[in-house]
Structure 1
Amino acid sequence: MVGASGTIGAMSTPDPQSPVPDASRPESKDRIYRSPAGIAGGALLLLIAGWLGVDALISGHGRTPWLALAALILVVPLVSAFTLRPAVFANEDRLRVRNPFRVIVLPWAQVASLRSSYSNEVVAASGTKYQLWAVPVSLRARKKVAKQQARAAGGGDGRRPGSAGRPSPMGFGRSHQPATAPTRATTDQIMDDLRQLAEARAGEPGAQGEVTVRWAYEVMGPAIAGAVLLAILLATG
């Protein structure tokens, strides 16, 4: 698994929010891609916010408990939206992208391309682009793979430049057997897999349909309510 700094996890489990499958063919399970590092960071932030907020609610005086409550109502949904919520679900029929404030469902026939540069995104047949928040690009991971490939191409013995032919101190050293280096960073490999799935399934009957976009009102509603309450408290203070 690789995370926000390049670590993504993929699981093959049924998605409870997936459409009811056609009974005439076997159910297609979703591959689920998320960022473990993003989830861990979000959980830590929520823990800190909860600790500070609850302490202010219990120990605060005057307007402090109300300000803490409003801040919690604003912060908790936003932190959850950007860290815990993002996920990408892919099966034989469609790609479902759960971003912080939207859920986009693209049948494979509607996927024009999947692009990787400084962010990973899917381009619909209409030309609309949707970013894959759950599959962040890691330039650090790309550089690491490039270094591993260069080291493997140079013999994989791990010796410093200019040390050829010299024994390592005390007789210790890495094996001189060539190392096997990964060819792609994890997030780039995920995008390659999604491209292959799109190309293979785009013409299938079950992969037809229209792109649908749903706003995440369950996230936006509490965040807006918290922002309004906090603004009122600050304005009347």
Structure 2
Amino acid sequence: MTSPKPPAEPTYADRTFRSSAGIVGGVLLLLLVCWIGGDAVFRGEGRVPWLALAGLLTVVPLIVAFTLRPVVSVSERRIKIRNPFRTIAMPWTAVADVRAGYSSELFAENGAKYQMWAVPVSLRQRKKAARHQSRKSLDDPYNRTSVHADVRDSQSRLAAADQAMADMRELAERAKAGVGKSSPSPAATTVSVRWAYEVIAPAVVGLVLLVVLFAIG
């Protein structure tokens, strides 16, 4: 008779946080810029097509960088932050805290601070959530919750950025609890930072071309 297998540890799929408004705005901006720039390239005369090409080479990467590129990917072991010009990856054991004040920020154990562009803070959402909590406390001043109440309601009423921070903080605490009190290995505290040269290089080239074209008159 075979012994029963121990229950498997729960696994947590990767999650991503992105700004829907940023993506929509980025797509609309790209369409507008490409329409105007393309019209100047094909119908312009003299130096206009070259100026339009240099302008597109400068502006398009920047629009992509600030609207479509930002994303935060998290799993049970690590977090990866893709900002407009940098990508930061680190295990949860290297994370000191995550906060959402006027912007979403990650604080590493080594003292570094990184912003999370993909998780914008909406003060309007935060005020709306605060009003809901205030009304809820007035409706139930003695905290006598009905047995039929949805206990998930307080979580669902958090602002999007605050909810994302709460989820990330929970993952960080779970990962640190799994490591325990033993000294973490160097790999468990390594922070990787990579510059997005695929965005920076074309924007710089386009800007240089614009300067040269304006300089030669």
What TM-score does the superposition give when structure 1 sets the normalisation length?
0.75
Give unmatched runs, 5+ long, in structure 1. Answer: 1-24, 157-177
2:174 to 179, 186, 200: 200
The residue number in structure 2 matching 1:116 is: 100
Match of 1:226 in 2: 206
Give 1:71's match in structure 2, choosing from 40, 49, 55: 55
Q: What is the DSSP-based 3-state SS (H/G/I as helix, E as strand, rest coil) of the residue aligned with 1:202?
A: helix
In structure 1, C-alpha distance between the alignment counterparts of 2:108 and 2:121, rounded to whole Å: 20
Distance 1:228 1:38 in 2: 28
Cα distance in 1 for partners of 2:10, 2:18 equals: 25
1:40 alignment counterpart: 24
Match of 2:163 in 1: 189
TM-score (norm 2): 0.82
Could you list the per-position Cα deviations for residues 75-128 of structure 1 after superposition, in whole angstroms to 9, with x for gaps in the alignment? 000000000000000001100000000000011110011122111110111110
- Alignment RMSD (CA, Å): 2.4
Aligned counterpart, 2:132: 148
Query: Which residue in 1 is equivalent to 2:4?
Result: none
After TM superposition, the structure 1 stretch with the greater mean CA deviation from structure 2, 27-36 or 199-208, is 199-208
Q: Identify, as 1 or 2, the structure richer in helix.
A: 2
Gaps of 5+ in 2: 1-8, 141-148, 180-184
Alpha carbons 2:11, 2:76 under 8 Å: kept: no
Distance 1:199 1:234, change over 3 A: same
Count of equivalent residues: 192
1:62 — aligned with what? 46
Q: CA-to-partner distance for each residue in 1:137-168, whole Å, 9 max, x for gaps?
A: 11111111122333444459xxxxxxxxxxxx
Task: Tell me how far 1:29 sits from its aligned partner.
Answer: 3.2
Identity %: 53
Secondary structure of the corresponding residue to residue 169 of structure 2: helix
AA in 1 matched with 2:162: D
